[in-house]
Amino acid sequence: MLLRDRGRAMALIIGLAFATTLIVQQASIFTGIMRRTAMTVLSVPQADVWVMYPGTQYVDERKPLEDIALQRVRGVPGVDWAVPLYMGGATARMPDGSFASVQVVGVDRSSRVGLPAVLEDVTADRLDEPDVVLWDHLNISLYQKVRPGDVLEINDHRAHVAGIALGPRAFVASPVVYTTYERALQYSPGERKRLSYVLAKAKPGTSPDELAVTIRARTGLGAMSSNGFFWSTVTANLRRIPAAINFAVTILLGVIVGVAVSGQTFFTFVLANMRYFGMLKALGTSNRVLTRMVLLQATVVGALGWGLGVGAASLFGSRIGDRSQIAFLLTPHLLVGSFVLVMAMVLLAAAVSIRRVRRIEPALVFRG
């Protein structure tokens, strides 16, 4: 009945599609933002374990270690290799005389673990040259004016930009300066402890989680597997970043729109077809069969609306890259969750209409 009433069917499908698009898009943006808060961990796939100061909960919460911590980690059984990593903030004087807050990342000179895999018109070997750095502008036009050959000034030290690095975009939208660990220490404030993290690789046959436990027991330092540190960072940022509430309100708005549209459409559909339902009852159709008819039609239009909505959200996300200013991550969990939510909305609306259908008197069809 509903599918033959094209006007009401299209209104219901379009309304559900709009609600689904709103829910999936906002949830995907929120998921993308949370992923970016831990993107620093994901950007170093070579490391199995991150070693940090005890009590560290997320990657941007850095308390420096003593330099001897690197040798202590290298001496732990099960460690294949361990390298230092420096991460810190600084102020850079730009070629035009302006200033910019930058993130300085210092990687091991020999292994270069922590350096982005994609470099633009430059090789990592250039870092062996004096004062050389790589610049990541994060696709922000304000920082794209820095080009290879320019010279920056960081903490009264020259930084010769040899090329552009294209690393994954993190939550903090500051340009990144990549250089060697030793040179990064020159750019950092003069503190006694400046080792941010130790990155370790597990020997074959040793799991990252087991190695992290061994490192904590042998050294007294904090240690997490890369996967564990990623989720620890995401969990900590969920508690400290208020964006979750804003996105939850938007998603709730999508649910309200979906329930209102589907409920109103189903109710008017039942009112418009009261005589037909009465005729079916007069012919001996039971309430159970009528209920199944309404639920089947609700399921069909719900699936169509969900599919169109997910398609629109996916099309939006397909135009967003890892380095764009908008974060977007559509996961299978979001697809399943949105489907369950949309079907719950449409079935709830159908349930209200079913109550009216079950109360229809068969004699209605014989009234003039």
For residue range 17-58, list pLDDT tens digits in order: 888 888 888 889 888 888 988 999 998 999 999 999 999 999
Q: In this predicted model, what pLDDT tens digit does every residue of 226-278 receive, in sequence order?
A: 999 999 999 998 888 777 677 777 777 777 777 777 677 767 776 777 777 77
Residues of the chain with pLDDT > 70, as a percent, come to 91
Q: Are 105 and 159 a contacting pair, CB within 8 Å?
A: no
The residues near 255 (Cβ < 8 Å, ≥ 6 apart) are 19, 23, 341, 345
pLDDT at 75 over 90: yes
d(CA 244, CA 29): 11
pLDDT in the model for residue 46: 92
Strands 79-93 and 151-154: antiparallel
Q: In this predicted model, what pLDDT tens digit does every residue of 102-139 receive, in sequence order?
A: 999 999 999 999 999 888 888 888 998 999 999 998 88
Classify 281 as helix, strand or coil.
Answer: helix
Question: How much is the average pLDDT of 180-190?
Answer: 86
Residue the block writes with tokens 């999508």 = 254
Name the average pLDDT for the chain: 85
pLDDT at 69 over 80: yes
What pTM did the predictor assign? 0.81
Q: Give the pLDDT band of residue 362 (cuts 50, 70, 90).
A: low
The residues near 263 (Cβ < 8 Å, ≥ 6 apart) are 348, 349, 352
Residue the block writes with tokens 């993130």 = 103
Domain ranges for the chain:
6-37+242-366, 63-195
Residue 187 in tokens: 């750019």
